Amino acid sequence: MQPTIESIYKRYSPALRPTEQENSIGYWFIFRGNQLLVHETGDLLAVPVGDRLDKYGLTSNRTLYLGSIEGASCYTAEVAEDITVPEGMIFLPLFALYDRIDEDLFHVAGRGLQMLSWDATNQFCGRCGNPLNHADHERSKVCPNCGLSHYPRLSPAVITVILKGDQILLARAGHFPNKMYGLIAGFVEPGETLEDCVQRETMEEVGIKIKNIRYYDSQPWPFPHSLMIGFIAEYDSGEIQVDGEEIAEAKWFHADELPNIPPRVSIARKMIDWYVEEYKS
């Protein structure tokens, strides 16, 4: 059965600037590096809410508008490493906050982190070196000297569930903690289709051929600017031969004997959970 595809956002609407109808009291996604500022309120943490950043005694290196959630504006801001953390609040890695803040807020925070990274690394034109301006009509920066547009960078990567009958192929990279196994994945190269990349990465990493490649789902992965594009494929031929560099070990597993797998924040876990639901005994 093909999985149901839904938007990751339930209440969020992206926009370039606030509307007159938006509430001035909004959400603030405040980052120190890759860490998000949250209220310590128990198991479910809260994102700061207010009309100004200085309400929390903070000043930002850069601030960007992201859109709105049910009429409340959303802003993201970057603060210095040496700031004084407001009382009752804490900076935590965004990756660790999945399931600990509202899901829409988590995904908007990821967008904010990616936009801050783009803004910080696109201050000057790569063609003529002139300072850039934000465009009025789209999410980009424009060089006032030569007219070159600079868009937020995305690095597409494929990730694939490979099935052999009722078994799934899982692989362990040498750097994975706790002997965790995941799916075959890799970045798309220039001149490739997504399907070409799925086939190439599978052959390079585990040495097998696959067939019947079909789209599953996608997930933004703002660490710092990836887009994970999931596929399902079927085993065709060959024996597993790991590359010994990216992949240390790969095996076929049944749904009731899975090893340690990625956490729920990742599309890899969502895809593996789909497989388990489809093939569990």
Domains within the chain, CATH numbers bracketed: 12-121 (3.90.79.20), 124-152 (no CATH), 155-279 (3.90.79.10)
pLDDT, residue 133, reads 97
Nearest by Cα to 39 from 96, 115, 100, 82 = 100
The residues near 241 (Cβ < 8 Å, ≥ 6 apart) are: 206, 207
pLDDT at site 261 = 96
pLDDT of residue 99: 85
Sign of CA dihedral 129, 134, 136, 138: positive
Question: Backbone dihedral region of 212: left (phi > 0), alpha (psi from -120 to 50 degrees) or beta?
Answer: left
Q: Read off the tokens for 181.
A: 């196994």
User: Could you give the CA distance from residue 107 to residue 144 in angstroms, rounded to a whole number?
Assistant: 33
Say what the pLDDT of residue 22 is. Answer: 81
Question: How far is 192 from 130, CA to CA, in rounded Å?
Answer: 33
Nearest to 3 by CA among 228, 274, 262: 274
Check residue 223 and give its pLDDT: 84
Going through the chain in order, the beta strands assigned E by DSSP cover 12-14, 23-32, 35-39, 49-50, 62-69, 72-78, 89-93, 133-134, 141-142, 149-150, 155-164, 167-173, 184-187, 209-221, 226-237, 247-253
Give the pLDDT confidence score for residue 2 in this predicted structure.
Answer: 62
Bridge partners, residue 133, by sequence = 142
Q: Going residue by residue through the chain (281 aa), what tens digit of pLDDT does each one get?
A: 666 667 788 899 999 999 888 877 899 999 999 999 999 877 779 999 998 888 889 999 999 999 999 999 999 999 999 999 999 999 999 988 988 998 899 999 999 999 999 999 999 999 999 999 999 999 999 999 999 999 999 999 999 999 999 999 999 998 887 899 999 999 999 999 999 999 999 999 999 999 999 999 999 999 889 999 999 999 999 999 998 888 999 999 999 999 999 998 899 999 999 999 999 87
Structure tokens at 17: 């600037």
- Assigned token pair, 82: 């040496």
The whole-number pLDDT of residue 1 equals: 63
pLDDT of residue 174: 84
Q: Tokens 């490493």 identify what position?
A: 81
**pLDDT at residue 186 in the model:** 96
Quick one: which of 118, 116, 153 has its CA closest to 33? 116
Q: Find out whether the peptide bond into 224 is cis, omega within 30 degrees of 0.
A: yes
